[in-house]
Amino acid sequence: MSRKNKLQLGTFGTNLAPGITFTTIPGALTTDWSRVKHIAQHTDRMGFEAIVPILRWKGYGGEHNPHSDVYDTLTWAAAVGAVTEHARVFATVLMPVVHPVIAAKQLATIDHVTDGRAGVNVVAGWYLPEMEMFGTDMPPHDQRYDLADEWIEIVRSLWARYDEFDFDGDHYHLKSLFSMPKPVSTPRIMNAAMSGRGLDFALQNSDTIYIKLNDDREKAVAQVADIKQQARERFGREIEVWTFGYVVDGETERAARDYLHYYAQEHGMHDAAVNALTIMGVEAAIAGDNSTAARRFNWVAGDGGVPLVGTASQVADGLEWLSDVGIDGCLLGWPVWEDGMVRFEENILPLLVERGIRSAD
């Protein structure tokens, strides 16, 4: 979003409860607008480049049903954009259920509210219980991206063209399309597609590809380099690669890991994590599989992101590692946002400046 910083930063999931951590501890995130507003403004003051919401229309069930209490991301983005000044504010849009003519107008409106800081994280759909709420079937994987290609083309044309035009595709048959006002600047497009047809879509259409990063250094370097090379060689595009992580810091590494165990193990919503992973198709069928237990714990701890756990210096090490393997930006979350962000600003950001990862400005 802004290349003055080697590693850009953002926040992830401040539009829903309990944020990216499936925990019942006191202080976990709620959809109290005063809190959401405060977090967004603190994000802005710290110089973070992005504020990205999680799209959910239906929670993951279990005893506490996390992510069932959630703001709509388009109206949320307009509201957050109105109370911030610098960070790019994204809406996350489920393309099969949000008509592209409506989305183009809403995103252009957000771009005016934010004076050119709008972005859109586009989702082709994977959570069947949500699709069923809208009376929409879940098409086969590749067909979802065929629709997504048309959706993006329509939205971008509405942003750019001043004449009325028709669109006749396999999924949309639209007449006399027109939309004003145009965006202040074309909203940036983010997408989390990882492989196959989804990756083709992201490489061709996204400004930012959002990935689940391999935790092996050599594999991570190759993973990031391959995405950028494919975008350049196949589509003539330069793209950014981002990931996400959760921050758990303490005076000592032991203190940080004890706190991680407290909120994610003792007070974690493990039943909901099993439901989410099963629907995603990544939950192992064999009970007792250690990799499955670790995957489930990481989902509870921070939505499956990169664990940035330890002292302030160790958290800075983790962020430096991301930068070194080629990551352009990282979205972050905390088990208790307000306290965690204060510590990050006071103890970790200065270390990132000293290491040349972030600017002091």
DSSP 37-58: HHHHHHHHHTT-SEEEPPP-SS
Protein fold of 8-354:
TIM Barrel (3.20.20)
Query: What does the pLDDT read at residue 306?
Result: 96
Query: What does the pLDDT read at residue 360?
Result: 85
Query: What does the pLDDT read at residue 209?
Result: 95
pTM for this model (two decimals) = 0.95
Query: What does the pLDDT read at residue 152?
Result: 97
Query: What does the pLDDT read at residue 282?
Result: 61
Cα–Cα distance measured from residue 131 to residue 109, given in angstroms and rounded to the nearest whole number: 26
Query: What does the pLDDT read at residue 3?
Result: 65
Query: What does the pLDDT read at residue 333?
Result: 98
Q: What is the token pair recorded at 130?
A: 């949500």
Mean pLDDT of the chain: 94
Q: Is 118 helix (H, G, I), strand (E, B) or coil?
A: strand
Query: What does the pLDDT read at residue 281?
Result: 74
Query: What does the pLDDT read at residue 101?
Result: 98
Query: What does the pLDDT read at residue 286?
Result: 42
* Ranges under pLDDT 50 in the chain: 284, 286-288
Query: What does the pLDDT read at residue 53?
Result: 98
Cβ neighbours for 55, distance < 8 A, ≥ 6 positions apart? 73, 92, 93, 94, 121, 123
